[in-house]
Chains A and B, each alone.
Chain A
Amino acid sequence: MAEPRTASTPSTPAAAPARPAERAPEPAPAGAPASGAARPPLRHRLAERGIDRMLLLLLPAVATLIALFLYPMLYGVGLSLQPRSGGIFANYVAFFTDPYQSGTVWKTMRLALPAALFNVLASVPIAYRLRGRFRGKRLLTAILVLPVTLGTVLVADGILRYFGPRGWFNRVLLELGLIDEPLRLIYNYWGVLFSLIITGFPFAFLLVLSYMSGIDPTLERAAATLGAGPWQRIRRITLPLLAPGLATTFILSFVLAFSVFPSANLVGEPADETRVMAIAAYQAAFEKYDYTMASTIAVLMGAFELVVIALVLLWRGRMYTGHTGGKGA
């Protein structure tokens, strides 16, 4: 009885949901005990595990991701194990033995970690000031979030003009007599770091602000009633509740900063000081046409990033992760 319906549904998944759930508690059909006493139909057994026709709605999305993401990733891993010469790990050995290549790991981390850390830590006091409701909050938030739309190229362009030796920044410092000759802030590490902060800060701030608004303000008031001073309230109430959110923000900021590519090329020193992994991978693929090496670097890039994320998550796992009592929780 059940078979024809199952067979007809894949063409009309729209008719699926809810019915299997209604049917699940029914006893097995009368004919069943004769054939196999303890075996309810497969469909029912699957439904008990939450697998029913509603999951067909997931199918297009999952299939798309498998085709466009998972398969290419595995293809890339496979490609990285088929080097042009040598054994299957020859590419990985080549990467780690060549300081010009393996140095990119350190150069990427040296940019991404401080940028992400700065963006998160700078957001905390500002978000703390901005929590709660007051007039102008929306305007100020919008101004702080605006740089999200600037895009890496405009920021890079602006950094070249503004922080350049003849830019306004150096001019003001020279006029004030703070420096004797222009600071060198572009085409090196600092230019890239600035661009990562300008593009990454608004994003980190937005996240931290939303976590901060999610903390129930009455908790702090209760602490104040019990005699806690402002610093104690921040250190014992707000920060512990905020810490897991900060970890998440750090991860997402780190992901953004880790894939730095355009700014490292435009305002950095892509041949040396800011030759990050993304540049190395791009050069291998589209300048040397060595797709196996490019895939190797891409795989390593993902691996190194996931290691950092895993470490942060481990640390986060040791903290309080319950809800924070506020509207956002």
Chain B
Amino acid sequence: MKQLMQGNTAAARGLYEAGCCVASSYPGTPSTEITEEAAKYDAVYCEWAPNEKVAMETAFGASLAGKRSFCGMKHVGLNVAADPLFTVSYTGINAGMVICVADDAGMHSSQNEQDSRHYARAAKLPMLEPSDSQEALEFFRKAYDISEEFDAPVIVKMCTRVAHSQSLVETGERVEIPSKPYEKNISKYVMMPGNAIKRHPIVEERMKRLADFSETSDLNRIDKGDENSVGIITSSTCYQYVKEACGDKYPVLKLGMIWPMPDKKIREFADSVNRLIIVEELDGFIEEHCLTLGLKCEGKSLFGCLGELSQNIIAEKLGMNTPSGVKLDGSVKIPARPPMMCAGCPHRGLFFTLNQAKCTVLGDIGCYTLGAVAPLSAMEMTLCMGASVSALHGFSKAGGKNAVAVIGDSTFMHSGMTGLANIAYNQSKSTVIILDNSITGMTGHQQNPTTGYNIKGDPAGKIDLESLCRAMGFKRVRVVDPYNLKECADVLREEMEADESSVIISRRPCALLKYVKHNPPLKVDNEKCRSCKSCMKIGCPALSMKDGKAHVDETLCVGCGVCEQLCRFGAFKGGK
């Protein structure tokens, strides 16, 4: 029977059915659930690696040892793993290896909207692009066969709408693939110049064979249309938007294998229609390829390269009518509802401290990036995972003053450690604050090397942050409780005044973790509240002003007591 299944769950089912035995990933929206779901199958060993580069190298090692392997990541994670990616293209694999990258057009939860398809072309690797959950399952299965047939890792590219949409899926059975014994092969697997020079032509030859495969594979198919005034080439979720907007009116060449593309099939399709239109999100990847084939086509001139597309956008650009939608009276102003730190979030107290100290805060990637939002407004830079620590070093070396770095526990293990090593080695006077909430928060609570648990929640190795920092040579390593504002302010001042580098660990578990015990909600004594709004400076969703007095939403308040510490009139009561 068909089941309603999220794209990522279907992808996990696909790698399970394909006989994958080892999966190593780093969480990142919208890719996280693939590995989480795969971990539910006992036949697949799954783990969270400290970062995507480690995950990819782990998957490569497993392939080398003879087991089908997997690594998954979001688009920016593939940048981190780009180093092994480009060279594993040269070495090839032993057992099948599949890399999944999930793009986030529209930036629902990302710092950029890069188009990962360029990596397939740049690294000379095959890439498949499913358009719904059923295809996610099937394409993962096919990817392993292609990987072994062509001696190359295969990239499966997802996007937010395929990864996080549910559609009906027919599942199959797992195939047990016998292990392929590891064989020593120095010329294939040791990529020093003398060997790599010999591997490069093999890569080029492989791309030719893959292009031939792309011509005849059912991954690339044509849906017939009622008329040929227009023909559309598309892939991924855009295929669904095109079919929604146009039905069977126009013929559609749907590319399931986005690299290498089937040139002959594209030419024949182009010849069969009067006007060729390319529908793709972000960059004109298919369009530019069509242009190199000398084909006349339209794409980005119609749809642009920003954000997500939809059925209405496509219908409008093809000259069809779309519903305008109901409109409220123009006088009604609807306030935005941006995401914000949860009530009781341990990051809040620390960011309030930084706001009050008027530090320049170089930030990083995680829930705590919300420290940049008003009223805390206590973050002035966020670039990529780990950049807070390394940029602080550069900022200090260039004479920048009164600056700190903030980075979460998981992000620190991902790529903050190397930046910290640079501070220890090249000796800048820098204060790094590790926001240790004992979990990878933003992506929905994944374990990491500092939590002491593995992906299944079983006990695992635990890296001690204090010992690690001391081992790097930091003499000043302090731990503070972010619910204690005075302690945070005192320690921050002392460490910034000190004559050497330091690390402050702000430690308290995420308030959403199930094991965290909350205090009863606070109440406001209206007699004592002087309406000074001091408590409103922390931007807590549980606090508002009602009839001129501070008001606590008891359904949200977890009794963290940070607001209480800001009240000079003792108006808050209850809590601990």
A is bound by B? no
